[in-house]
Amino acid sequence: MVGYGTSGIVHVSHRRKENGIGEELYAVKEFQRRSRETEDEYIRRLAAEFCVLSELRHPNVIRTLELLTDVKGNYCQVMEYCEGGDLFTLVYSAGKLEVEEADCFFKQLMRGIEYLHEMGVVHRDLKPENLLLTRHGRLKISDFGNSDCFRMAWENDVHLMSGLCGSGPYIAPEVYTDQEYDGRAVDVWACGVIYIVMRTGGYLWHEARKDGDEIFAQYLKDRRQEEGFSPIESLNPLSCRDVIYCMLDPNPLRRITASQVLRSQWGQEIQLCQAAF
């Protein structure tokens, strides 16, 4: 076992290459039924997840290959295996990342998110633990257990989301309300927090609720008074700080998009490391 996903346990499996020489490693996610979920609901959920993910093709999104059953009758999803572990482990072991390294991972992340949003998919649980790395350092977005489609290929209108999902420090403030929200803005918020975690090695806050977190309440106060928030003010250059503030705008209607991040002055200035190509 290599880890736990949002909706299952992940194992490593191997299969002989088609030419018969050597073996290839794969990550196999064994789906688990949620509490109060019927058999039909369980099958529909995992089938829907597989149908979406099997169509995604991007260097920074984990490749989903097959949906099958194991010898015990459990449904399993076969994915490419990333030998480099996850971003959380890398940041935890290093304390924090160097600027060039964090920037490279961030730009890869935003490219992957831009692609997902173009395909009508939102992740809704972005965090370093769900960002896998290849042996050479290419970042791959994984664990789509909370993902959803906000727009089908034949639709123009955006479907709003509801319900609390995600992981503590990375959840956008609008998710805590009773209102529906745009899942794309939620993903962008999480990416902004992830960048701070890479650069500082710590969380900005425990949860983005002004009544439940003093640090987040201070952040909101600093924004209203146009005073700099120290964890973000420590970032350089100025163009970087501007983008992070725009990604962490408490008002989701003002929050910038993944495409706007990549087209910003800072986004264009970030030099991708060799592994990203």
Which tokens go with 231?
Answer: 């964890």
CA nearest neighbour of 128 among 92, 79, 176, 81: 92
How many domains in the chain? Answer: 2
Q: What is the CATH number of the domain that holds 66?
A: 3.30.200.20
Residues 96 and 141 in one domain: yes
Mean per-residue pLDDT over the chain, rounded: 90
Q: What is the CATH number of the domain that holds 100?
A: 1.10.510.10
Q: Which of 70, 86, 103, 125 is catalytic?
A: 125
Q: Is 40 assigned a catalytic role? A: no
Residues 57 and 96 in one domain: no
Residue 82 · residue 12 · CB < 8 Å: no
Q: What is the pLDDT of residue 6?
A: 57
Q: What is the pLDDT of residue 59?
A: 95
Residues 143 and 171 in one domain: yes
CA pair distance 275, 171, nearest whole angstrom: 29
Residues 46 and 154 in one domain: no
Summarize pLDDT for 179-236 with one digit per residue, the tens: 999 999 999 999 999 999 999 999 999 999 989 899 999 999 999 888 889 999 999 9
Q: What is the pLDDT of residue 167?
A: 92
Residues 191 and 144 in one domain: yes
Give CA angle at 151 (164, 65), nearest 5°: 85
Domain that holds residue 38: 3-80
3-state secondary structure of 82: coil
